Structures are given as C-alpha cells and as structure tokens.
Structure 1
Amino acid sequence: MRIRCLAAAALTGAAVLWWHRRRVDQALAGERLERVLERAVHRRTRSELAATLVVAEATDVIIRAQAREE
C-alpha cells in the first residue's frame, strides 16, 4: 500500500514538473528560448568543469598521500 502511494506521488510530481516545463517552453518564443537554453548549457558546462577540477585535485591529494606512505 505504501509503495502504491509513493508511486502515485512520484507520478503526480513528474506530471506536474512536465506540465510546468511545457508551459514555460510555450511561453518563451523562438530566440528568447534559444538564449535561455544557451545560457543554461553554459552554466552547466562551467559547473561540470568546476566539478572535474575538484575531482582532479582530490585525486592528486590521494596520490601524494599514497606516495608518502610508501
């Protein structure tokens, strides 16, 4: 019973998000939508680059620590 309620809540939430996204897409027209999407991709790319740099730095720290132990 609990699983059915959770599944129904998840489906309802997904439907609400889809509906909202659809309305936003319809509200934004042509060039404006393209500019918004371009900025979103740019932000995503910057955040992925930052995350990659953090992982690289953490990897370097781990490698240096392992080298000191040996």
Structure 2
Amino acid sequence: MPYINIKVTDEGVTKEQKEALIKGTTQLMVDVLNKNPETTFVVIDEVNTDNWGIGYDQVTTLRNKQ
C-alpha cells in the first residue's frame, strides 16, 4: 500500500494539475514497482510560501525578488 506525499507551494496549482499529479504518480508506482493503483494513496500538501525556505530565505522573499 504505497503512500505518496507531494508538497508544493500554494501558488495556484489547479485542480487539473493536481489530478495529473495523482494519475502520474500512481501510474509510476504501477509501472516501476508493479503496485496496485487501487491501494496507492497520493496526498498533495500545499505549503504557504512563508513556510517554505530555500537557503536562508523564505520562498515569499525569493519570489518577490524575481
């Protein structure tokens, strides 16, 4: 029973994109590890950019610099 946890920043990931992530990661488990898709769980966590850091900076700060 695979459990896949995807974490992305909360910057407008659409329902369709999330569906594609769920389908794609489930299919990857089927193709690579021969797992049953009926018992493969995918959870997508959207993390606020203030709560995600890269190096010394919050992603919010990095995005504002761009």
Class of the TM-score when normalised by the shorter of the 2 chains: 0.3 to 0.5
TM-score by length of 1: 0.33
| Higher gyration radius (CA) | 1
More helix by proportion, 1 or 2?
A: 1
> Structure 2-normalised TM-score?
0.34
Larger strand proportion of the pair = 2
Query: Relative contact order, CA 8 A, sep 6+: which one is greater?
Result: 2
